Amino acid sequence: MRNKRTMSLAALSIGALMLSACGSAGGTSDSDSAASSGSDENLASTITIAISQAPTAYNGNTAATNAVYNGYVDNLTSSAFVSYSPSGTLEQNTDFGSYEKTSDDPLTIEYTINDDAVWSDGTPIDYDDVLLSWAAMSGTHPTGEEDEETGEEADLFQASSTNGFSQMQMIEGEPGDKEFEVVFDKPYADWEALFTTGTFMPAHIAAEQGGLSADGDGAALVDAIQNDDRDALTPVAEFWNTGWAYEADLPSLPDTALLPSSGPYKLDNAVNGTLTVVRNEDYWGEERAGQTETMVFRTVVDEEAVQALQNGDVDIIDPSSPTVDTKTALEQIGDTVTVDTGQSFTFSHIDLDQRPGAVFEDLRVRQAFAACIPKADMVDKFVTPVDPEGSVLNLREYQPSHDDYQTVLDGAPAAQGDGVADIERARSLLEEAGKTEPVPVSMMFASTSQLRADQVALVKNSCDQAGFEITPQPEAEWSAKLPQPGAWDAVIFGWSGSGLVASGQSIYVTDGEQNFGGYTNDEVDSLWDDIATSTDSEQVVPLKTELEQALADTQYNVVLYANPSLAGYTSDLQGVELNPTQSGITWNAYTWTKQN
Partner 1 sequence: MFYFIVKRTIISFFITLAATTLMYFLTISSGDPFEDLGETSGPQKAATIAARTAAMNLDVAPIPRYFLWLQDVGHCLVPGGVSCTLGQDRTGAAVLPQLENAIGSTLRLVVVATVLALVLGVVVGIVTAIRQYSVFDYSITFVSFLLFSLPLFWLSTLLKQYLAIDLNTWLDNPQFSYLTIALIGVVAGVIWAVVVGGDRRRRLVVFAVAAAVTAVGLYLLLVTGWFVTPGLGVVGMLVSAAGIAVLWTALLAGFRRRRVLHAALAAAAVSFAGYLASVPLLNDPNWLVLVALVILLAVISYVVAGVIGGPFRTQAARIGAVIAVSVSLLIVLDRLLQAYPTLSAKAGGRPIPTTGSQSANLEGTFWEINLDYALHLVLPTIALTLISFATYTRYTRASQLDVMNQDYIRTARAKGLSERTVLVKHAFRNAMIPITTLMAFDFAGVLGGAVITEQVFGWNGMGKLFVDGINAVDPGPVMAFFLVVGTAAVLFNMLADIAYAFLDPRITLS
**Residues in 87-116 that interact with partner 1 by CB under 8 A:** none
Binding piece for partner 1, criterion CB under 8 A, among 253-261, 264-272, 374-382, 543-551:
264-272
Separation in Å, CA 425 to CA 31, 169, 365, 439, 490: 68, 54, 11, 15, 20
Cβ 323 vs Cβ 386: under 8 Å? yes
Binding piece for partner 1, criterion CB under 8 A, among 180-188, 199-207, 246-254, 383-391:
246-254
CB of 292 to partner 1, least distance (A): 13
- Taking the CA of residue 167 as centre, how many other CA atoms within 13 Å lie in the half-sphere pointing to its CB? 17
Cβ 571 vs Cβ 336: under 8 Å? yes
CB of 116 to partner 1, least distance (A): 29
Among 28, 40, 105, 356, binds partner 1 (CB under 8 A): 28
CB of 193 to partner 1, least distance (A): 12
Residues numbered 332-361 forming contacts with partner 1, rule: CB under 8 A: 346
Core vs surface per residue 508-538: b (16+ CB within 10 A) or e: bbeebeebbbbbbbeebeebbeebbebbeee
Residue closer to partner 1, measured from CB, 362 or 548? 548
* Burial of 6 (C-beta count, 10 Å sphere; 0-12/13-18/19+): exposed
Residue closer to partner 1, measured from CB, 19 or 257? 19
Number of other CB atoms surrounding residue 26 within 10 Å: 4
Among 3, 24, 436, 484, binds partner 1 (CB under 8 A): 24
Residue closer to partner 1, measured from CB, 36 or 98? 36
Q: Binding mask 460-479 vs partner 1 (x if CB under 8 A, - otherwise)?
A: ----------------xxxx
- Torsion, Cα of 386, 392, 396, 400 (10° steps): -60
Among 108, 163, 209, 554, binds partner 1 (CB under 8 A): 163
Residue closer to partner 1, measured from CB, 275 or 540? 275
The terminus-to-terminus CA distance of the chain in angstroms comes to: 63
The angle formed by the CA atoms of residues 559, 562 and 565, to the nearest 5 degrees, is 165
Residue closer to partner 1, measured from CB, 284 or 493? 493
Alpha carbon 16 to its chain centroid, in Å, reads 63
Among 2, 4, 5, 23, binds partner 1 (CB under 8 A): 23
From CA 153, how far away is CA 420, in angstroms rounded? 50
Separation in Å, CA 582 to CA 72, 77, 114, 201, 589: 9, 16, 26, 19, 15
The angle formed by the CA atoms of residues 272, 264 and 403, to the nearest 5 degrees, is 100
Residues numbered 514-573 forming contacts with partner 1, rule: CB under 8 A: 514
Residue closer to partner 1, measured from CB, 220 or 306? 306
Binding flag, residue 595, partner 1 (CB under 8 A): no
Residues numbered 185-244 forming contacts with partner 1, rule: CB under 8 A: 242
CB of 323 to partner 1, least distance (A): 16
Per DSSP, which regions of 114-258 are E strands? 142-146, 153-155, 179-183
Alpha carbon 68 to its chain centroid, in Å, reads 6
Residues numbered 442-461 forming contacts with partner 1, rule: CB under 8 A: 446
Among 1, 21, 34, 257, binds partner 1 (CB under 8 A): 21
Cβ 106 vs Cβ 185: under 8 Å? yes
Residue closer to partner 1, measured from CB, 228 or 513? 513
Residues numbered 283-342 forming contacts with partner 1, rule: CB under 8 A: 294, 296, 298-301, 303-304, 307-308, 310-314
Among 36, 102, 227, 272, binds partner 1 (CB under 8 A): 272
Among 51, 56, 405, 588, binds partner 1 (CB under 8 A): 56
Residue closer to partner 1, measured from CB, 432 or 513? 513
